[in-house]
């Protein structure tokens, strides 16, 4: 009985944290150069850390990441191991640029309803603005991180 109560408490606390965290959910990534929507990324929490997975590539669904094994970009975790900072941002993890296979330090936060993702290497980096989008109907209810990068 005690295990059941602990499981219910964990699930309800997990649900509350998702409801209160505006970063979690689905975001449309925008190409810096063309302004076109490139993909839909799901930002999710697992074991107290935040990850981001490419749910759908909107341009070329057969595009592959330039990492070991050359997996499809669609379905690939591109953000991993983010934790809250004292600045109200999530940081301390990595973001993968699947086009070149490089991983960068990462920070994300929500500003004016948009997600700001900043990737940097040795303090030099750039920001991207991602737009909120509805959860696709084919989105699984729960996912776990994939250690490909």
Q: Give CA 37 to chain center in angstroms.
A: 16
Asked if 23 and 43 count as a contact pair (C-beta separation under 8 A), the reply is yes
Both tokens of 106, joined, read: 């990462």
Closest to 105 (Cα-Cα) out of 83, 86, 88: 83
Report whether pLDDT(94) > 80: yes
How many other CB atoms are found less than 10 A from the CB of residue 149?
19
| Confidence at 135, pLDDT banded by 50, 70, 90 | very high
Provide the pLDDT for residue 88: 84
Distance CA 125, CA 105 (A): 9
Per the DSSP assignment, residues forming a β-bridge with 26 are 42, 133
DSSP β-ladder status, 25-30 and 49-57 = unpaired
19-50 confidence digits (pLDDT tens): 568 999 999 999 888 999 999 999 999 999 99
Is pTM, for the whole model, over 0.75? yes
Provide the pLDDT for residue 117: 96
Conformational region of residue 92, where left means phi above 0, alpha means psi within -120 to 50, and beta covers everything else: left
DSSP label at 112?
T
Provide the pLDDT for residue 17: 41
């Amino acid at each position: 009985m005690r295990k059941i109560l602990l499981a219910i408490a964990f699930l309800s606390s997990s649900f509350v944290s998702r409801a209160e965290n505006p970063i979690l959910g689905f975001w449309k990534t925008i190409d810096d150069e063309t302004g076109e929507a490139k993909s839909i990324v799901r930002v999710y929490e697992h074991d107290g850390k935040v990850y981001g997975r490419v749910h759908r590539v909107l341009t070329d669904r057969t595009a592959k990441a330039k990492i070991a094994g050359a997996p499809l970009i669609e379905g690939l975790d591109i953000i991993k191991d983010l934790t809250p900072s004292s600045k109200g941002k999530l940081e301390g993890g990595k973001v993968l640029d699947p086009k070149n296979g490089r991983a960068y330090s990462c920070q994300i936060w929500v500003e004016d309803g948009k997600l700001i993702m900043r990737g940097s290497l040795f303090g030099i980096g750039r920001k991207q603005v991602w737009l909120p989008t509805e959860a696709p109907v084919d989105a699984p209810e729960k996912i776990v991180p994939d250690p490909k990068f």
